[in-house]
């Protein structure tokens, strides 16, 4: 039920919860609200008191639909990751030095060691170690 703001004849305001049916009957003049002293209360427009709550209904509400969508997407991501792993070609870095292909990275490292020295050859250490760890 929404909350409405009312004003007493002395200027004091207070809020009260009303059903939509009661609110419409007050607006149309069919029903009159009075305070304890018998004075008529005036309905005041109060845009700060607007509020609502989303609840699950028979078919579900926003929270349950969002959870269902998130669950579907989690499952779909798993399926798509498997499809990508099975069907998408993954290129690998081809061992080369200055555009000339080599058989493996250790050959490239040996060639660089003879041409430019040990310091330059050490830049290929991570590629050689990765290559030697492959089955």
pLDDT digits (tens, 9 = 90+) for 74-98: 999 999 999 999 998 888 788 888 8
In this structure, are 8 and 44 located in the same domain? yes
| pLDDT at 94 (0 to 100) | 84
Model confidence, pTM: 0.34
Mention every residue, 6+ apart, whose C-beta is less than 8 A from residue 46. 4, 5, 15
Residue 22: domain span: 3-49
**Cα torsion for 113, 114, 118, 119, to the nearest 10°?**
-80
With tokens 């029903």, the residue in question is 31
In this structure, are 14 and 45 located in the same domain? yes
In this structure, are 8 and 33 located in the same domain? yes
In this structure, are 39 and 60 located in the same domain? no
With tokens 């250790």, the residue in question is 106
State the average pLDDT for the chain. 85
Domain total for the chain? Answer: 3
């Amino acid at each position: 039920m929404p909350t409405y703001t009312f004003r007493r004849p002395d200027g004091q305001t207070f809020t009260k919860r009303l059903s939509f049916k009661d609110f419409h009957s007050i607006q149309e003049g069919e029903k009159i609200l009075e305070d304890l002293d018998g004075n008529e209360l005036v309905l005041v427009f109060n845009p700060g008191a607007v509020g609502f709550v989303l609840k699950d209904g028979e078919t579900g509400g926003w929270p349950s639909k969002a959870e269902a969508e998130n669950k579907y997407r989690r499952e779909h991501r798993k399926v798509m990751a498997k499809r990508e792993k099975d069907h998408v070609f993954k290129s690998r870095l081809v061992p080369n030095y200055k555009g000339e292909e080599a058989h493996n990275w250790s050959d490239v490292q040996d060639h660089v060691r003879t041409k430019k020295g040990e310091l330059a050859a050490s830049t290929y250490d991570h590629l050689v170690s990765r290559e030697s760890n492959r089955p």
